[in-house]
Amino acid sequence: MNTSERAVASLGLHHVLPPYMLEHLAENGPERLREAARADLAVDRQLRSARAARPIARYGTAAEAADTTPNRTVYDAKNRRQLPGVEVLREGGQPVSDIAVTEAYDGLGATFTFWWEVFGRNSIDGNGLPLDASVHYGRDYDNAFWDGQQMVFGDGDGTLFNRFTVSLDVIGHELAHGVTGAVRDLVYEGQSGALNESMSDVFGSLVKQYAAHQTAEEADWLIGAGLLAAGVQGTALRSMKAPGTAYDDPNLGKDPQPATMTDFVEMTDDNGGVHVNSGIPNRAFYLSAIGFGGYAWEQAGRIWFEALSGPGLSTAATFTEFAAATVAQANTLFGPEAGAVVADAWGQVAVEVVVELPEGDDPVVDVTQTESGAEAGAE
């Protein structure tokens, strides 16, 4: 990735549908969908270029920060590609018959509620940022994205993908990119980019679990459940519980996510595999949540957020560094037993974590990656 590409990638444009799915569809799908996939890939490139010339989302004002209720506006793009479109529902407005508008509005609200009630965070920037979304973007557009300013949802093609407002975790995922950008703008390439994507999967899943009042054991740990149309061979876009098993379909290919560092994928596409290798930290979070039991946001979620937002994490953090940060936070927040749960989770994905707690001293964390992650460090 060259300097200009890296700059554009950091501006905040994030798509929930990974590019390799669209690329496979463009080559192997039905002819009508192949043409649409090529158009979508071209549009995504144009959007990235356009983002380079636009400022990122403004932060909330002091007045907005004082108001701890959501400030939502949903627009209808009318199947065009101009944003935001026509306003159709503002905060507190009368319900509308358009299901996509309702799902977007409710999803923004559920995400706001999660961040406020669980973390005391007032909107995604912590300062009351208004939450805007546009639905019916483009024609048969197979994606949803956060562009640094608002959410945008396509309707799907109706053959392989349903409308992209249907999955609450997708909405939570995209808005979590805004949170990550605000608290620790992880460089969107390589391992730090995979962590960026993983954070969105983690908190997107937690938004869904919190809204459904599900324990870690009850949750499906799928990202994008409901997005795949009837007849597609798969259950979702990704599985945090079992990376690499979410789908295997002739039109979309096979889920390429590895579950451990031994299968880490070295690649230049997808910003160095940010959507692919995110399966590794995703599974580490799942294993931590299951290890703690109960509601995943209470311990595992808090540990992950504190590790992300803590002062010691670099914006180019590797899996090694983030693993060390999570174990250190687990020890600090919940004690050595919690640290052992998190260390074991990373060990199961082939990122070994050794924690020493000398009496009277701060925790010392030694992390060793195996195989393709062969590097060691100590804190």
User: Residue 374 in 3-state DSSP?
Assistant: coil
**187: its two tokens:** 């460089």
**367: its two tokens:** 């992390």
CA distance linking residue 349 with residue 17, whole number of Å: 24
Whether residue 151 contacts residue 130, with contact meaning beta carbons closer than 8 Å, is answered with no
356 annotated active-site: no
Write the secondary structure of 208-255 as one string of H (helix), E (strand) and C (coil).
HHHHHCCCCCCCCCEECCCCECCCCCECCCEECCCCCCCEEECCCEEC
CA distance linking residue 130 with residue 57, whole number of Å: 10
Q: CA angle, 300 as apex, 348 and 239 as ends, to 5°? A: 60
Please identify which of the residues 24, 275, 306, 321 carries the catalytic annotation.
Answer: 275
55-92 in b/e form (b: 16+ CB < 10 A) is ebbeebeeebbeeeebbbbbbbbeeeeebbbeebbeee
173 annotated active-site: no
User: Residue 33 in 3-state DSSP?
Assistant: helix
Q: Any idea which residue has 């324990």 for tokens?
A: 215
DSSP conformational letter for 80 = S
Cα R_g (the chain), whole angstroms: 20
CA distance linking residue 245 with residue 294, whole number of Å: 25
Please identify which of the residues 103, 136, 174, 321 carries the catalytic annotation.
Answer: 174
CA distance linking residue 348 with residue 140, whole number of Å: 40
User: From edge to edge, which strands make up the β-sheet containing 144-146?
Assistant: 14-15, 144-146, 151-153, 131-135, 72-76, 86-90
DSSP conformational letter for 161 = B
The set of catalytic residues is 174, 275
